[in-house]
Structure 1
Amino acid sequence: MLGWRLLVSVILIPLLFGLFYLDQRAGTSAPYLYGLCCLIVFRGCWELTRLLTVRNLQPGYAIVSLLSLLICTLAWLPYFSDSDAGSAQESSLALMSVGFSISILLIFLKGAIRFQEPGQSMENMGAEILSVSYLGFLLAILAELRWVAGPETGYLALGSLIISAKMGDIGGYTFGRLWGKKKLVPRLSPGKTWVGGFGAIFGAAIGSLLWFQFTPALFNSLWTGSSWLWAILFGAIIGLVGLVGDLCESLIKRDVGKKDSAELLPGFGGLLDLLDSPLYAGPVAFVLWKLLPLITVVAATGN
């Protein structure tokens, strides 16, 4: 199983970065990334609403997917129309928040219109708000990393999160399988161990260090990576937060009595099982890119 997980990761990550390469060449509006986010919304909302259809929970797939798509689309509008990346991101974050607020209002309105008798409306509304928050708002924040460091070099930031989070997953799984004994949270995730948790942080830190050492110049010839200290700190934080994200997705699955969100890939589960760490770590990565000196601009020298 370990070999299979590594093989799938080796295949999926280059495919994802190939899409990023095409999107980089398509311009600052990132149309390919927007299309990918739309696919994630429709597939992810299907998995999540299907997971949550248990007990008294009956979230509506149509409203959850459409509202999640609304949040992502509103977040993208400034990038389709505004050439100033700085002001575009400010407008994007504002519109994203407005879209999330409107989504809550519409979910309440739907609940009020369909109310028949006590005992079910609040459960359904809570499940729908949770779904929109998870697959609409968090996904939109994750996508904002595309522009956090500027329109030309944004995939350096998005790539740093993906590499750190996925290397954390690989490190955690590898360390846990080889040396893990003491369970981390046995009731929530029986497979997680303390050694695996340290492996997740270690793997993410190594992935981040390598990413910031070797890739900045590929995005901008005047950029070099930050010092090893900041790169390792970024990766370690993402590894820790990604591990928490994995546990939080396990919380959803365990509470509804499921092992995987779906059967998309053997050994990985569904799309939500692949995205749990990046989705949860996205807002933290955005803040870290704003606070830490993760890149260095090399002054151009004249002749």
Structure 2
Amino acid sequence: MLYALAWLDLRADRPGVVLLPLALVGSALAAGELVRVFENSAQPGLPAGHKGRAADAAPRRRVVLAATVLVVLVSATPMLWLEYPKETVVGRAGWVGLGLAIAGMVVFVEEMVRYAGPGAASTRLARSVFTVAYAGGLMGFVAQLRLLAGGVWDADGRWGMVALLSLIVVVKMDDTGAYFAGRALGRHKMTPILSPGKTWEGALGGFALSAVGAMIALGPLAHALGCDSTRGFWTWLGGCLLYALLVGAAGMAGDLAVSLLKRDAQLKNSSTWMPGFGGVLDLLDSILFAAPVAYFLWIARIVGP
């Protein structure tokens, strides 16, 4: 389904407009699952699973979901602006920061309007801002990868599609390689308490497969999309390996980050409506965490044209 949408997006008048609804839905669902995690987390000083005041400290679902979607929409301003100027003071990535600032103020104002006395307001506010930054802000960088266009890139955003697909390919191949290498060769635990199944042998297997994924995404896949790098072979190969290492490591950290939140809330899955998958957070955690790293490597010209 994703690749069918990517094919349609490449043929749209504006890069990203076909994929934007998917990003909005994904970020909203991820935010909703984070709210559920916090609803099951204890307020500081209370035992885990305690209802009552602990539940009061959870973010307000409707406000957080609206603020999260707002961040992604603001981040996508360049694809929604009918005549977006080539040069702007805010640039492109600056829209992510602007969206986060506006969403943060929305959450603050909502707490001020509903404030009724001392209690869980500060904890709820901190969790709300975190949820918006995680589900909305990081998704904003996914949108920014798709929006790479112009200048050294291209006029129609094809390199942006390569950037987006390379993120997904590298992260998911890292996950796959780590899983199978860990099961076959895993001996040394990486984080015995947080994620007992992760091993250093698995991490090496993940890097090996993500390196293959990076070379495929930045080689044959890029060529199929009409994007050929002008770099020499060794420069291109070095960029692929560094991209696989850093983006793959960030993806693994993203998986551990969600494991931390779920274990703290004593939850096995972040949702109950996706049996066998754990939830949207489990599908997006590594991609969201790795998106800013991938974006930096692209704009730093470590990989690309």
Please state which band the TM-score falls in when normalised by the shorter chain. Answer: 0.7 to 0.9
Residue in 2 that maps onto 1:230: 239
Distance 2:63 2:249 in 1: 33
Distance 2:280 2:73 in 1: 21
The one-letter code matched in structure 2 to 1:249 is: V
Task: Summarize deviations over 1:224-254 as a string: whole Å, max 9, x none.
Answer: 6762221121111111111111111111111
Unmatched 5+ stretches in structure 1: 1-14, 297-303
Distance 2:284 2:4 in 1: 18
CA offset at residue 63 of structure 1?
A: 0.7
Distance 2:274 2:159 in 1: 31
The one-letter code matched in structure 2 to 1:103 is: A
CA offset at residue 113 of structure 1?
A: 2.3
- Further displaced range: 16-25 or 221-230: 221-230
Task: Summarize deviations over 1:267-299 as a string: whole Å, max 9, x none.
Answer: 431110011111001000000011234234xxx
For the structure 1 residues 85 and 184, does the alpha-carbon distance in structure 2 shift closer, same or farther, using more than 3 Å as the test? farther
CA offset at residue 34 of structure 1?
A: 1.0
CA offset at residue 86 of structure 1?
A: 4.8
CA offset at residue 197 of structure 1?
A: 1.7
Aligned pairs for 1:65-84 within 5 A:
65-82=65-82
CA offset at residue 209 of structure 1?
A: 1.4
Question: What's the TM-score, normalizing by structure 1?
Answer: 0.86
Unmatched 5+ stretches in structure 2: 43-53
The count of residues paired between Structure 1 and Structure 2 equals 282
Task: Summarize deviations over 1:15-43 as a string: whole Å, max 9, x none.
Answer: 21221111111122422111111211222
Residue in 2 that maps onto 1:255: 264
Residue in 2 that maps onto 1:241: 250
Distance 1:138 1:203 in 2: 24
> Given that residues 15 and 147 in structure 2 are in contact (C-alpha distance below 8 angstroms), is that contact kept between their aligned partners in structure 1?
no
Residue in 2 that maps onto 1:139: 139
Task: Summarize deviations over 1:76-99 as a string: whole Å, max 9, x none.
Answer: 223222556853795443333222
Aligned pairs for 1:167-186 within 5 A:
167-186=173-192
Root-mean-square deviation (CA), in Å?
2.1
> Given that residues 165 and 238 in structure 1 are in contact (C-alpha distance below 8 angstroms), is that contact kept between their aligned partners in structure 2?
yes
Residue in 1 that maps onto 2:26: 40
The one-letter code matched in structure 2 to 1:35 is: P
Distance 1:24 1:85 in 2: 21
Question: What's the TM-score, normalizing by structure 2?
Answer: 0.85
Residue in 2 that maps onto 1:53: 39
Distance 1:45 1:166 in 2: 21
SS at 1:156's partner residue? helix
Distance 1:179 1:128 in 2: 40
Aligned pairs for 1:52-201 within 5 A:
52-54=38-40, 55=42, 56=54, 57-82=57-82, 86-87=86-87, 90-148=90-148, 149-150=153-154, 151-201=157-207
Distance 2:292 2:227 in 1: 28
> Given that residues 203 and 239 in structure 1 are in contact (C-alpha distance below 8 angstroms), is that contact kept between their aligned partners in structure 2?
no
Task: Summarize deviations over 1:25-78 as a string: whole Å, max 9, x none.
Answer: 112242211111121122222211111113223211111111111111122223
Residue in 2 that maps onto 1:11: none
- Further displaced range: 148-157 or 176-185: 148-157
> Given that residues 37 and 270 in structure 2 are in contact (C-alpha distance below 8 angstroms), is that contact kept between their aligned partners in structure 1?
yes
More helix by share: 1
For the structure 1 residues 254 and 89, does the alpha-carbon distance in structure 2 shift closer, same or farther, using more than 3 Å as the test? farther
SS at 1:244's partner residue? helix
